[in-house]
């Protein structure tokens, strides 16, 4: 029978192997959770973009100019600030808000803008911002 001291290297190697397997498994779970979260945010952004329709319309009532992105705000019925689309410098929609009916549904990809696959014409956004008096 081998002593504990003789089995120690095998024991350490076995523990290390289990630890590595757990880390790989956790990384896979994390990646899957991120993909699921990004997909849900993209679905919400797509919904708000569909609800907005064309960017240039009479329901466009306001804007926000922020360091990382600019937002266009649209009225729907009695809701003055009902819908909002926020666009980065490349035209990616990185945030969308649906405030219709007193609720607020917020979708954003600030943490990883590279995943923002929904785009609008950034030149049109700039034109609309200038038209509304943004500097």
Domain with 94, as residue range(s), is 4-131
Cα 25 from Cα 74, distance rounded (Å) = 44
Tell me 114's DSSP state. G
Q: How many residues does this entry show for the chain?
A: 135
With helix as H, strand as E and coil as C, how does 72-84 read? Answer: EEEEECCEEEEEE
CB 42 within 8 Å of CB 50: no
The residues, any chain, with a CB within 8 Å of residue 98's CB and separated by 6 or more, are 44, 47, 48, 51, 82, 83, 104, 105
60-65/70-76 β-pairing: antiparallel
pLDDT at 67: 93
**Enclosing H/E stretch for 65:** strand 60-65
pTM over 0.85: no
For the chain, what is the domain count?
A: 1
pLDDT at 103: 87
Nearest to 83 by CA among 107, 65, 116, 117: 107
**pLDDT per residue of the chain (135 residues) written in tens, 0 to 9:** 566 566 666 666 666 665 555 555 555 555 667 789 999 999 999 999 999 999 999 999 999 999 999 999 999 999 999 999 999 999 999 999 999 988 899 999 988 999 999 999 999 999 999 999 986
């Amino acid at each position: 029978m081998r002593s504990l001291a003789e089995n120690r290297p095998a024991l350490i190697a076995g523990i290390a192997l289990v630890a590595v397997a757990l880390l790989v498994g956790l990384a896979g779970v994390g990646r899957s959770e991120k993909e699921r979260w990004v997909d849900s945010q993209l679905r919400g952004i797509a919904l708000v973009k569909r609800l907005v329709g064309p960017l240039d319309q009479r329901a466009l009532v306001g804007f926000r100019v922020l360091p990382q992105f600019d937002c266009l705000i649209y009225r729907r019925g009695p809701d003055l600030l009902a819908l909002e689309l926020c666009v980065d410098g490349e035209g990616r929609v990185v945030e969308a808000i649906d405030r219709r009916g007193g609720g607020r549904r917020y979708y954003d990809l600030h943490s990883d803008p590279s995943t923002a696959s929904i785009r609008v014409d950034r030149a049109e956004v700039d034109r609309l911002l200038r038209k509304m008096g943004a500097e």
